[in-house]
Copies of this chain bind each other. A is one copy, B any other.
Amino acid sequence: MGLLARVGAGDLAALARLATYVENQEPLGLEAIERLYASTGRALTIGLTGPPGAGKSTLIDGLISTWRERGLRVGVIAIDPTSPLSGGATLGDRIRMRERPDDAGVFVRSMASRGRRGGLAPATAAMIHLLDAAGFDRVLVETVGVGQEEVEITRFVHLTVLLQIPGSGDGIQALKAGLLELADIYVVNKSDLPGADLLARELSGIAALSSSLDPKGEDAVPVVRVSAVNGDGIVNLVDAIERIGVRRRDASNLDRIARAELVAVMTESIRTRVEAATNRADIDRLVREVADRRQTPRRAAEEMLAALSR
């Protein structure tokens, strides 16, 4: 039986192998997505972002349990901000923690955010399609809300959950990073800590303000308080995800996601061509001219672009 057929039959070991091809955008992985794409679109896809230490791992554990109790299969893609040097090894433990080897209804995949041929964004979009096609009803993409690239991944999901904790000043950080603007649900974790009331009020205030400024008149972003460690509020969060998920699967949002993936695939394809071109020996002349100030960067770039499209 081929790899694709085994994945279709629910073989998680086969899925793990295919996922590696997809992550590295190898021919086998690209071909698999070409063949599977028509059977995607069933899963509800959710982004989860928040600062390090906000309790994302514990929260994901709770989400998985709740969804499993409702008979839903759950796939998790964890984007780890690692360099090729460290190879993501430091994060292995927290990934393994969430795996449930005895449960074929759960699949967890970690992806390093850097050092990959083919770009993070197209690989993440493809990984979502793979888990969707493999029959996972909920696909959760976890990112750490620090880097621009990690945050942009949330453009490939139906809705995004932003996790915050009291007393860390992260509200301001999130505001600065533009995270608040792209979230559909705000979650206050560790809601028994002092400052949780204040944080929840602040987030509600921002949500109300944004809603009042929204020309489309969308509902204000809900603020859900949880304590991931003891499970309080997780059911409320799942209910909010399911409720908003229905709304966010309309045509305009599906178009938004398709458009984002198209741009990501095109940008990556062009970037590859540009890099290949700039590494060609005959480009060295232009580079030298720019370095020597005989030619401006902009003029040289125009010349190279003209050469590329010939």
> A interface vs B, CB < 8 Å?
30, 33-34, 37-41, 81-86, 90, 113-115, 125, 146-149, 172, 175-178, 180-181, 251, 254-255, 257-259, 261-263, 265-267, 269-271, 274-275, 278, 284, 286-288, 290-294, 296-302, 304-305, 309
| Cβ contact within 8 Å between A297 and B262 | yes
Q: In whole angstroms, what is the CA distance A275 to B85 when docked?
A: 34
Q: In whole angstroms, what is the CA distance A254 to B294 when docked?
A: 13
Q: In whole angstroms, what is the CA distance A34 to B90 when docked?
A: 47
Q: In whole angstroms, what is the CA distance A41 to B90 when docked?
A: 42
Q: A83-B178, A148-B148, A148-B149 are in contact. Are A305 and B269 (CB under 8 A)?
A: yes
4 nearest interchain CB pairs?
Answer: A83-B178, A258-B290, A258-B291, A265-B301
Q: A90-B176, A274-B263 are in contact. Are A291 and B257 (CB under 8 A)?
A: yes
Q: In whole angstroms, what is the CA distance A294 to B38 when docked?
A: 7
CB-CB nearest in chain B for A294: B38
Task: Give the residues in chain B near A301, CB-CB below 8 Å.
Answer: 262, 265-266, 269
| Cβ contact within 8 Å between B82 and A270 | no
Q: In whole angstroms, what is the CA distance A102 to B83 when docked?
A: 44
| Cβ contact within 8 Å between A37 and B90 | no
Q: In whole angstroms, what is the CA distance A284 to B125 when docked?
A: 20
Q: In whole angstroms, what is the CA distance A212 to B235 when docked?
A: 54
CB-CB nearest in chain B for A83: B178
CB-CB nearest in chain B for A301: B265
| Cβ contact within 8 Å between A37 and B297 | yes
Task: Give the residues in chain B near A298, CB-CB below 8 Å.
Answer: 30, 33-34, 265
| Cβ contact within 8 Å between B290 and A114 | no
**A163: min CB distance to chain B, Å:** 17
| Cβ contact within 8 Å between B262 and A287 | yes
**A221: min CB distance to chain B, Å:** 14
Q: In whole angstroms, what is the CA distance A288 to B287 when docked?
A: 41
CB-CB nearest in chain B for A289: B258
**A120: min CB distance to chain B, Å:** 9
Task: Give the residues in chain B near A294, CB-CB below 8 Å.
Answer: 38
Q: A146-B147, A287-B255, A300-B262 are in contact. Are A181 and B83 (CB under 8 A)?
A: yes
Q: In whole angstroms, what is the CA distance A269 to B176 when docked?
A: 27
| Cβ contact within 8 Å between B305 and A270 | yes
Task: Give the residues in chain B near A266, CB-CB below 8 Å.
Answer: 274, 278, 301, 304-305
Q: In whole angstroms, what is the CA distance A296 to B34 when docked?
A: 6
| Cβ contact within 8 Å between B299 and A34 | yes
Given contacts A261-B297, A263-B274, A267-B270, 4 further A-B contacts (CB under 8 A): A84-B178, A258-B287, A261-B290, A262-B290
Residue from B85, B176, B286 within 8 A of A82 (CB atoms): B176
Task: Give the residues in chain B near A180, CB-CB below 8 Å.
Answer: 85
Q: In whole angstroms, what is the CA distance A79 to B262 when docked?
A: 30
